[in-house]
Amino acid sequence: MIEDFHAVLQRRLRPGATTPLAVGFSGGGDSLALLRLTLDWAAARGRPVLALTVDHGLNPASQGWTADALAKARDLGADARALRWTGDKPATGLSAAARAARHALLATAAREAGARVLLLGHTADDRLEAARMRAEGSTTSDPRQWAPSPAWPEGRSVFLLRPLLAVRRQALRDWLTERGETWLEDPANADLGSARARARAALASEDPAVPPIPLDPSPPLAVEGEHALRLPRDASAAQVAAACLCAAGTTAPPRGDRLERLVTRLRSGDAFTATLAGARIVADAAGALFVREAGEGGRGGLAPLTLAAGETGVWDGRYEITAQAAIAIRALAGLARRLPADETAALKRFPAPVRPVLPGAIDAAGAISSPILAGDRAIRARVLIRERFEAATGFIDQEPAT
């Protein structure tokens, strides 16, 4: 087990990196084993480990569990931080909301600590349970060994690594017991009202074969563009969905029939323009261009962002912007006529569908500029579209350098 674990870390983590490794540590057995194994691996390589524990605030005892987890992590030699879910707790879909909040909190804390990789303790049992839940009609996905954080924009630049996917939960617990460890058993696991707990209970009486770890997705053969993405027309459905998602900067990729229809239309070779999931798709003989749909402004998309001096924020899920002085960011549509002459000239070099959805900045005096077009760097913009697409489609399959 330890050799396999080391092999996964060796394969996915950057040799010589000194940035911290973040570990999602719930206090349960799986993530306690993960934390111990990670600490041993990292100590030999001089890498700090940051244990992150999310308190969802759903059980009156959770504050105590979190304090115990922090104490345990520190005792083992990790830095440790507690993160609290303070948002509204919905009456329905609570576990999905808790999961989304957990991913956002973990990714933000990891990124702010300078970590590019967040390790999670999913095991072979999680894969078996997910498979059983899918067989009963659930949409639970198969946890991947390496994937970008699903939280957006909080998870930008953060990858999830699940190095224990081939290990059975019982093997981890035996390993911990041999080392005299004890851990928290989450009472939610015993609640047979949840599909997850039912799947777990059903598997307990079987000895199922663990399916092999799925391969990483194959990246598209070609992709171009920074503010819009250009893909070949025979891109796979997963690549087309990722291109829509990343070009649009949203959090929900297209799925199902609508995605299938778009893929079929792309394969047909016809020239067309379509919109899907906040993206505009312009298909011609050369390929398909995926760009933010300017009309989304009327449907609550492209929402303005206000930044204080020195503050960093993400506008429209596509641009990370830091300004030296206070500014408001809006779509360039409607502002372009007020740009300085040099920026107007620079704008002409962009494809027509890209121009209205670039960011425009309005300063305290009402002057208009665009961080993408301006020569000076008083406003810094990082374009997230291409980087997110590369993370989603398997171009980046190891811890990146920056």
Ligand X SMILES: Nc1ncnc2c1ncn2[C@@H]1O[C@H](COP(=O)(O)OP(=O)(O)OP(=O)(O)O)[C@@H](O)[C@H]1O
Binding-site residues for ATP: 26-31
* Part in contact with ligand X (CB under 6 A); list of ranges 26-34, 234-242, 308-316, 380-388: 26-34
Q: Is residue 126 a contact residue for ligand X (CB under 6 A)? A: yes
Q: Which residues are annotated as a binding site?
A: 26-31
Q: Is residue 99 a contact residue for ligand X (CB under 6 A)? A: yes
Out of 120, 165, 231, 373, name the contact with ligand X by CB under 6 A.
120
Q: Is residue 38 a contact residue for ligand X (CB under 6 A)? A: no
DSSP assignment string, 104-151? HHHHHHHHHTT-SEEE----HHHHHHHHHHHHTT--PPPPPSEEE-SS
Q: CA–CA separation, 27 vs 176, rounded Å?
A: 13
DSSP letter for 165, please. T
175's CB contacts (< 8 A; 6+ apart) are: 1, 33
* Part in contact with ligand X (CB under 6 A); list of ranges 2-10, 20-28, 267-275, 320-328: 20-28
Mapping DSSP to helix (H, G, I), strand (E, B) and coil, where does residue 325 land?
coil
DSSP letter for 186, please. P
For 229, the token pair is 């993405």
Give the closest residue to 170 by CA, choosing from 211, 123, 130, 215: 123
Give the neighbor-by-neighbor strand order of the sheet with 359-363. Answer: 305-307, 327-331, 359-363, 368-369
Out of 36, 38, 49, 53, name the contact with ligand X by CB under 6 A.
53
Q: CA–CA separation, 263 vs 257, rounded Å?
A: 10
Q: Residue 237 CB, nearest distance to ligand X (Å)?
A: 22
CA–CA distance from 189 to each of 25, 144, 198 (Å)? 17, 22, 9
Q: Residue 162 CB, nearest distance to ligand X (Å)?
A: 8
* CB atoms inside a 10 Å sphere around CB 183: 20
Q: Is residue 24 a contact residue for ligand X (CB under 6 A)? A: yes
Q: Is residue 313 a contact residue for ligand X (CB under 6 A)? A: no
Q: Is residue 26 a contact residue for ligand X (CB under 6 A)? A: yes
- Spacing of C-alpha 79 from chain mean position: 23
Q: Residue 375 CB, nearest distance to ligand X (Å)?
A: 44
* Part in contact with ligand X (CB under 6 A); list of ranges 46-54, 222-230, 235-243, 391-399: 46-54
Q: Is residue 77 a contact residue for ligand X (CB under 6 A)? A: no
Q: Is residue 33 a contact residue for ligand X (CB under 6 A)? A: no
Rank residues 24 and 254 by Cβ distance to ligand X and give the closer one: 24
Give the interface size with ligand X as a residue count (CB under 6 A).
Answer: 16
Out of 5, 8, 9, 25, name the contact with ligand X by CB under 6 A.
25
Query: Is the distance from CB of 321 to CB of 315 less than 8 angstroms?
Result: yes
Rank residues 52 and 248 by Cβ distance to ligand X and give the closer one: 52
Q: Is residue 154 a contact residue for ligand X (CB under 6 A)? A: no
Q: Is residue 121 a contact residue for ligand X (CB under 6 A)? A: yes
Give the closest residue to 110 by CA, choosing from 119, 122, 101: 119
Q: Is residue 143 a contact residue for ligand X (CB under 6 A)? A: yes
Q: Is residue 122 a contact residue for ligand X (CB under 6 A)? A: yes
Q: CA–CA separation, 103 vs 152, rounded Å?
A: 9
| Residue 329: φ, ψ to 5° | -110, 135
Out of 9, 13, 22, 52, name the contact with ligand X by CB under 6 A.
52
Out of 22, 50, 54, 339, name the contact with ligand X by CB under 6 A.
54
Binding to ligand X by CB under 6 A, coded x per residue (else -) over 366-395, reads: ------------------------------
Binding site for ligand X (CB under 6 A): 24-26, 30-31, 34, 52-54, 99, 102, 120-122, 126, 143
